[in-house]
Amino acid sequence: MCSFKLWWALNEEKPVFSIPYKRVALCLSYIKGAKVEDWAEQQQEYMNKQKSTERIAKFESHWKDFKKSFKDTFMDIAEHVKAENNLKALKMTGGDIDSYITTFTKLIKMAGYKENEHGALFLFKKGLPNGLNIRIINNNDPVPNTLKGWQESAHQQQLKYLQT
């Protein structure tokens, strides 16, 4: 789905993207493989029935219903649990704060955390090396109290540390 959305962003001026029914049909045309073809065919049949009985080819509900069905059918139901476990195990290694922040940000979304939720901030600090946590505390007045604040400060302190 991500690849399709990127392709859509690059071609959004094309008429096919302004009509939700056609947008779904185009997306379905790219779904290939023995394990997904039956689902894709069911989706197309449903869309055709909706179009012929209700004349709603332009209704945005076509696209919303399709996305929900896609997510419900193909989403890894254990994704949240896996992301939570990966978050708990995540540690910044080799002084690479950028990779740590990027990976952390991706995992908190997958795990269902809100950015400024206390648990997210706790996990972020837990994954930092102790020395970096101490530098953040000692060099910030006041000490950041948001995830974004800690991420920015961690980035700044790590850069300063690497320059010395």
Dump pLDDT digits (tens) for 2-41: 788 887 888 888 888 888 888 888 888 888 888 788 888 8
What's the CA gap between 60 and 93, in Å, rounded? 45
What's the CA gap between 49 and 55, in Å, rounded? 10
What's the CA gap between 150 and 163, in Å, rounded? 20
Q: Give the total number of structural domains in the chain.
A: 2
The residue ranges of DSSP E strands in the chain, in sequence order, are none
Domain residues for the domain of 140 are 79-163
55 and 111, same domain (yes or no): no
**Residue 138 one-letter amino acid:** N
List of the chain residues with pLDDT < 70: 52-58
Q: Which residues contact 37 (CB under 8 A, 6 or more apart)?
A: 31
Picking from 53, 74, 95, the residue at the C-terminal end of a domain is: 74
CA 90 to chain centre: 18
User: How many CA atoms lie less than 13 Å away from 40 in the CB half-sphere?
Assistant: 14
57 and 95, same domain (yes or no): no
pTM: 0.61
83 and 154, same domain (yes or no): yes
